[in-house]
């Protein structure tokens, strides 16, 4: 087939340089130069005019669409000029069919080129899809590469079909290769999909204090393969995402407020009016405290314990930071001690009274 093309091209060169066919060559050259001028006109004037119009719409999608297809359109104008020039020439039927096939393949490549640039990391997926689909910034390169791979694969398949190549074996080979790769990299793929689930659902972000069945600490880094957590002993723990995605995770940083709940035990010899006074003063102190959330403050005499009268104290701090929480709790404890001292009430401690009965012998 290539030998036939070579012979036909030789015959074509002899015929073109004949005097009677020189006008065809000149007209073909003029057609190509016309499209070359149109390409320069598009690059210098028409594209800038279209870009100014798109900027007035207030949307960035049309701007990025123009920028992504600028170079493909420039190439399309040149290819279209070359195609029209070759059509004007008196070409043999085989060469003419070859030119048509080459032109259609070029259109597929140009279209794939434009969409390839459109789906780059800093283009369409970086802002529009991130906002609409609520995607994390870490997922943009991943999905961008997946979409680009699909575009390239489709372009190769369409061009191959245009040149009468059997792509069924190629597609089947891709399927078998993908299956073998998935089996070989099962754990790695599980970690990647676990990372995607963590990044999309966002049960925690970097800086959160989380607790799982296997680890507790502050999240320092989230990648597609693993998550790094700094424990309270300052050791760095790296956990595969597949393991972490399957566990129940408690995010302490999203509590909003932090609970204080304990029992204050006072002695049994405390008069009733003193107990009531202590309860009222402690509750008033908590309601007026700047570090306590005023919505839920519960102070009640609840239990007759074995060696104490137990007053339940239940409230929430405004802060969830552990150091600030401890400062608020310490201040509350000191003020409770001050109230008890002023009321003359003693804190009970575990004790037991033993009565010995001795038989009187006569």
pLDDT, tens only, 213-259: 878 888 888 877 788 889 888 888 888 887 787 778 888 878 788 89
Q: What gap in Å lies between CA 346 and CA 298, rounded to an integer?
A: 21
Pull the structure tokens for residue 62: 């049309």
Q: Which of 197-201, 244-248, 300-304 has the lowest mean pLDDT?
A: 197-201
Residue 170 above 90 pLDDT? no
Helix (H, G, I), strand (E, B) or coil at 312: strand
Pair 36, 75: CB distance under 8 Å? no
Rounded to 10 degrees, what is the CA torsion of 125, 130, 133, 136? 120
Q: What is Dmax (Cα atoms) for the chain?
A: 158
Rounded to 10 degrees, what is the CA torsion of 32, 33, 39, 43? 160
Residue 263 above 50 pLDDT? yes
Pull the structure tokens for residue 81: 């000029």
Residues in Cβ contact with 62 at an 8 Å cutoff, skipping those fewer than 6 apart? 54
For the chain, the average pLDDT equals: 79
Give the pTM: 0.51
pLDDT at 361: 47
Helix (H, G, I), strand (E, B) or coil at 75: helix
Most confident of 39-48, 159-168, 179-188, 322-331: 322-331
Helix (H, G, I), strand (E, B) or coil at 13: helix
Pair 54, 63: CB distance under 8 Å? yes
Helix (H, G, I), strand (E, B) or coil at 165: coil
Residue 274 above 90 pLDDT? yes
Average pLDDT on 116-129 reads: 63
Domains of the chain, each with CATH number or no CATH: 2-181 (no CATH), 203-253 (2.30.30.60), 257-343 (3.30.70.100)
Pair 83, 96: CB distance under 8 Å? no
pLDDT at 47: 80
Residue 209 above 60 pLDDT? yes
pLDDT at 122: 56
Q: Which of 41-55, 136-150, 222-236 has the lowest mean pLDDT?
A: 136-150
pLDDT at 99: 84
Pull the structure tokens for residue 112: 């794939």
């Amino acid at each position: 087939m290539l030998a036939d093309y070579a012979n036909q091209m030789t015959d074509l060169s002899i015929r073109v340089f004949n005097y009677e066919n020189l006008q065809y060559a000149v007209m073909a050259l003029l057609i190509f130069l016309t499209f070359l001028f149109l390409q320069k006109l598009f690059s210098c004037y028409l594209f800038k005019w279209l870009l100014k119009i798109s900027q007035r719409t207030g949307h960035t999608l049309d701007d990025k669409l123009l920028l992504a297809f600028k170079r493909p359109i420039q190439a399309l104008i040149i290819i279209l000029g070359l195609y029209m020039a070759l059509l004007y020439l008196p070409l043999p039927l085989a060469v003419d069919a070859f030119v048509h096939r080459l032109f259609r393949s070029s259109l597929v490549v140009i279209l794939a080129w434009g969409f390839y640039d459109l789906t780059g990391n800093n283009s369409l997926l970086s802002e529009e899809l991130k906002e609409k689909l609520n995607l994390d910034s870490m997922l943009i390169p991943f999905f961008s590469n997946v979409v680009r791979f699909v575009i390239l694969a489709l372009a190769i398949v369409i061009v191959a079909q245009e040149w009468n190549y059997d792509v069924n074996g190629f597609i089947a080979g891709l399927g078998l290769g993908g299956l073998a790769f998935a089996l070989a990299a099962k754990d790695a793929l599980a970690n990647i999909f676990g990372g995607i689930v963590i990044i999309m659902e966002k049960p925690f972000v970097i800086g959160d204090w989380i607790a799982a069945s296997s680890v507790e600490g502050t999240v320092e880094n989230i990648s597609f393969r693993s998550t790094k957590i700094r424990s309270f002993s300052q050791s760095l723990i790296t956990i595969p995402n597949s393991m972490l995605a399957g566990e129940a995770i408690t995010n302490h940083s999203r509590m909003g407020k932090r609970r204080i709940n304990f029992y204050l035990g006072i002695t049994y010899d405390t008069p009733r009016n003193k107990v009531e006074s202590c309860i009222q003063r402690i509750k008033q102190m908590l309601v007026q405290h700047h570090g306590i959330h005023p919505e839920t403050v519960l102070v009640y005499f609840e239990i007759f314990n074995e060696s104490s009268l137990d007053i339940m104290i239940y409230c929430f701090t405004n802060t969830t930071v552990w150091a600030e929480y401890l400062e608020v709790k310490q201040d509350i404890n000191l003020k409770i001690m001050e109230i008890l001292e002023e009321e003359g009430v003693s804190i009970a401690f575990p004790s037991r009274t033993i009565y010995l009965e001795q038989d009187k012998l006569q």
